[in-house]
Amino acid sequence: MKSRAFQSSYEVPACATPLQATITVPGSKSITNRALPMAALANGRTRLRGALFSDDSRYFIQSLQRLGYRVEIDEMAKEVIVYGAGIEPLQHVQGLDLFVGNSGTSARFLSAFVSLGKGSYRIDGVSRMRERPIAALIAALRELDVDVVDELGTGCPPILIEAQGLRGGTVLMSGKDSSQFVSGLLIAAPYAKDEVTLIVQGELVSAPYVTMTLAMMRQFGATVNQEGNVFHVVPSHYVAKDYMIEPDASGASYFLAAAAICGGTVTILGLGRDSLQGDAQFAQVLANMGCTVRYGFDRIELSGPPEGLRGIDVDLFAMSDMVPTLAAIAPLAREKVRIRNVANIRLKETDRIRACVTELRRFGVTVTEFDDGLEIEPCDQLQEGVTVQTYDDHRMAMAFSILGLRVPGTRIENPACTAKTYPEFFQHLEETIRGGA
């Protein structure tokens, strides 16, 4: 039998009985890809425990190594050792190419990171990355005296950066397309020549990720203050440390959703009420649909509702990676599910509103598409034997495999795309059905 990773499509196993599973998901992508640049900028040896090993974190690690930082990985132990060297390796780098695949955090965080150096860099990714915006970050970096151009004039990668260090000062930035522009600049800002004041104009999408950035900057010893939409970062240094990375809350959402539609109880270990990740609140959305949720300090336990899921009308502006998860289980709710205020997910790995609408319709579900969301009707006659298209989007693959647990014969095209954040996803899904991963 071919390994799951090489199959052109994967048949989702049926979930015949209520789940009873305790699951440990891999490390958080967002925390790993913040800890890496902070540790690199620190002076000394940082040990990152529970790190994620997936495409997105590998692109970040490889980029740091190409820039001249010493980074060692021990995948079995789930550890990364970073030998922090401040901005020293970034001096006198000429014409260095960094390839980031389709990793938004890598593209955005590294653009600000290399701007701290003296040299020239080019950041590029796969074809979809060339459609993902970075113009707001380019504009902010220019304000801080960095010479940046979008090579194709599209406002997207590839971008060329000629840096002489990051000047301090006040800079305005739009946060409507992505919070990663804000996080990227904040992570680099302690190493600017002077204090940086960043003013976010308009609404900030995915705000919990900026809260995570601030919390981690402080954990790594930097000084940053927030007053509403204004962020002040004073010149300071990150401190090397032993750092424990939480499991990935977005990855955990699929197993919580599985219990919501298959019944039984799923326990996610290592994530709790004090999680740094906004997506840990997704369990609360499922609680509002009738699930029973218990947040401990080191676990989230969710039991599916015996009488089935209720519908919901929900704004996922702060938690937009959770849209495919909710959309995929929505047809099994008793009433309709309306998801609002997520226009920016059209800019992710694929246009996720269009992708969810298209794939739900394949199952015979009635769905209405809006510019900024979708509405999904309940469906008690879901089409069996559907092959779900995944658009090279890990979240489409993972989310729709959960619906497949309840719809016989569902296949997931290109299952290997989960390698972006969760290479072992299908193995964990099978173990969950058997009782724990």
Ligand X SMILES: O=C(O)C1=C[C@@H](OP(=O)(O)O)[C@@H](O)[C@H](O)C1
Ligand Y SMILES: C=C(OP(=O)(O)O)C(=O)O
The reply to whether 303 sits near ligand X by the rule CB under 6 A is no
Closest CA to 277 of 217, 208, 326, 226: 208
The reply, when asked if residue 34 is annotated as ligand binding, is yes
Relative orientation angle of helices 180-188 and 135-143, to the nearest 10 degrees: 30
Letters for 180-199 (x = contact with ligand X by CB under 6 A, - = none) are: x--x----------------
Least separation in angstroms between CB 132 and ligand X: 9
Q: What is the DSSP letter of 13?
A: P
Rg (CA), the chain: 21
Measured CA to CA in angstroms, residue 95 lies from 32, 90, 114 at distances of: 27, 12, 12
SS3 391: coil
| 63 versus 105: smaller Cβ distance to ligand Y | 105
Which positions from 15 through 44 interact with ligand X, judged by CB under 6 A?
A: 30
Dig out the tokens for 66 from the structure: 């190409």
Closest CA to 437 of 19, 81, 147: 19
The reply, when asked if residue 103 is annotated as ligand binding, is no
Which positions from 361 through 420 interact with ligand Y, judged by CB under 6 A?
A: 395
Letters for 415-434 (x = contact with ligand Y by CB under 6 A, - = none) are: ------x-------------
The reply to whether 111 sits near ligand X by the rule CB under 6 A is no
Residue 28's φ and ψ, nearest 5 degrees, are -65, 130
The reply, when asked if residue 4 is annotated as ligand binding, is no
Give the angle 118-124-129 at the CA atoms, nearest 5°. 140
Residue of 246, 279, 321, 424 interacting with ligand Y (CB under 6 A): 321
The reply, when asked if residue 371 is annotated as ligand binding, is no
321 counts as catalytic: yes
The reply to whether 350 sits near ligand Y by the rule CB under 6 A is no
Dig out the tokens for 371 from the structure: 């510019």
The reply to whether 103 sits near ligand Y by the rule CB under 6 A is yes
Contacts of 316 (CB under 8 A, 6+ apart): 285, 322, 323, 326, 339, 340, 341, 342
Dig out the tokens for 347 from the structure: 């800019």
Residue of 54, 63, 105, 275 interacting with ligand Y (CB under 6 A): 105
- 395, interface contact from ligand X, ligand Y, none, CB < 5-8 Å by kind: ligand Y
The reply to whether 34 sits near ligand Y by the rule CB under 6 A is no
Residue of 102, 320, 390, 401 interacting with ligand X (CB under 6 A): 320
**Annotated catalytic residue, options 177, 279, 321, 392:** 321
| 132 versus 411: smaller Cβ distance to ligand X | 132
Closest CA to 105 of 46, 181, 176: 181
Least separation in angstroms between CB 187 and ligand X: 10
Span of 43-51, 88-96, 164-172, 176-184 interacting with ligand X by CB under 6 A: 176-184
Q: What is the largest CA-CA distance in the chain?
A: 64
The reply, when asked if residue 178 is annotated as ligand binding, is yes
Contacts of 212 (CB under 8 A, 6+ apart): 30, 31, 34, 183, 276, 277, 278
Span of 163-171, 203-211, 283-291, 397-405 interacting with ligand X by CB under 6 A: 203-211
Residue of 53, 191, 209, 282 interacting with ligand X (CB under 6 A): 209
Side chain identity at 381, as an amino acid letter?
Q
* Under 8 Å between Cβ of 110 and 63: yes
What is the helix (H) or strand (E) element at residue 48, kind and residue range? strand 43-49
- 400, interface contact from ligand Y, ligand X, none, CB < 5-8 Å by kind: none
The reply, when asked if residue 313 is annotated as ligand binding, is no
d(CA 341, CA 374): 9
- 103, interface contact from ligand Y, ligand X, none, CB < 5-8 Å by kind: ligand Y
The reply to whether 359 sits near ligand Y by the rule CB under 6 A is no
Dig out the tokens for 114 from the structure: 């290399």
d(CA 129, CA 350): 10
The reply, when asked if residue 3 is annotated as ligand binding, is no
Residues that are catalytic: 321
**Which segments are annotated as binding site?**
29-30, 34, 104, 132, 178-180, 206, 321, 344, 348, 352, 395, 420
Interface positions with ligand Y (CB under 6 A): 102-105, 321, 348-349, 395, 421
Contact positions toward ligand X, by CB under 6 A? 30, 104-105, 178-180, 183, 205-206, 209, 320-321, 344
